[in-house]
Amino acid sequence: MGAGIAQTAAQGGWEVALRDVDEATVDAAIAGIGKRLDRLVEKNKLTADERAAIGARLRNGMRGGELAACELVIEAIVEDMTIKTRVMKEVAGQARTDAILATNTSSLSVAAIGEGVGAVERTVGMHFFNPVPLMKLVEIISGERTDPAVADRAAKIATTWGKTVVRVRDTPGFIVNRVARGFYLEAMRLLDEGVAGVDEIDAVMRSMGGFRMGPFELMDLIGIDVNYAVSVSVWDQLGKPARLEPHPIQRHLVENQRFGRKSGRGAYSYDMESPIPALPLDRKSFDLPHSTYEAVRLFADGAGAAGGSITEQFVFARILGAIMNEAGLAIDEEVASPADIDTAMKLGVNYPHGPTEWAERVGRRTCRHLLDALNEGPCAGRYVAARWFRE
């Protein structure tokens, strides 16, 4: 991601110095960026002169006092608080005293990083999405003591680089990595409960929900290890609520190094030409109480997913309802505005609709009716509806 951010900044007209663990790693990153720029020339998306100018703006920042001249420093290293603060503190000691210190963390506290660095006022979150040159979204996160002028400047810079900015309060997972938890967690719970299989759940969310990829397909693409780490981080930092508890299936896959596409096996096996499900289904019959049955039917119809079996609608309603409720809870907590939440989910993870605009289309009362019905019985407490649905 660091190389992607560097490429984006250079394409935006900025002089960019790259740093890493050694000069060879930086040289390899610059060479990789060059190859991507060459492909853009081949596709007539850049001229040869533009490509040369962009390349000339990239240099190895391990040589000389490059940091002393930088207006903005963006950290994009491993998602570990101790390592991030150690490296950022070292960088802050070499950078200009007025340089903006931005972290690309996906779930850690920006305020805590700023405290560890000793520069809370000029530490801000700039959370990019992979692949950075293609993904339009940037979450700008203000810590409790981040200077508003610093956050405004970071937002303006990202905008001039062609990005769409959403503003977020400094809470675990910010928007995307928090609101998206239900997409993955409910899918694993449904599999574990014997309601539907990996491929069936993915097919439902593609066909009935209009998602580009189902939850298991997307987890395998992102990396089960990455997804699980974010799940644990968000759940732990938010006080371990039942609705966000990481699922044992995730942990089992990680412990067995089944990380998805990059390891050849995850929720699916990639040994064959076409992926096949690699997680067993112990299918079990289930009877929905009449009130739940009616709530699911009404919700699915309002969400544009009429038709299909009640099992398919139940899968769809459980997953989408969890996403919508997490968005509502984020609104309750003033994490971000409904408009920014919708923008973030559409641009950050390619959702077909923003969760709050989708909920408004269904009707907040109908959504609340579904959540209340799901919250009865053994799942009590996991689907408590956000206040936003009761307004």
Residue with tokens 């420093």: 73
Domains of the chain listed by start with CATH number: 2-172 (3.40.50.720), 178-390 (1.10.1040.50)
Choosing from 66, 75, 104, 106, the catalytic residue is 106
| Whether residue 269 lies in the annotated active site | no
- At 306, which helix (H) or strand (E)? none
| Whether residue 106 lies in the annotated active site | yes
How many CB atoms sit inside 10 A of residue 24's CB?
A: 11
Choosing from 66, 75, 139, 200, the catalytic residue is 139
| Whether residue 353 lies in the annotated active site | no
* Positions of the chain with pLDDT lower than 70, given as ranges: 64, 377
**pTM beyond 0.95, yes or no:** no
Residue 67, pLDDT score = 87
| Whether residue 231 lies in the annotated active site | no
Best CA proximity match to 193, nearest among 290, 319, 91: 319
DSSP string, 312-378: HHHHHHHHHHHHHHHHHHHHHTTSS-HHHHHHHHHHHS--SS-HHHHHHHH-HHHHHHHHHHHTSGG
Residue 376, pLDDT score = 86
360-382 pLDDT per residue, tens: 999 999 999 999 999 986 777 89
Choosing from 60, 177, 227, 325, the catalytic residue is 177
Residue 388, pLDDT score = 98
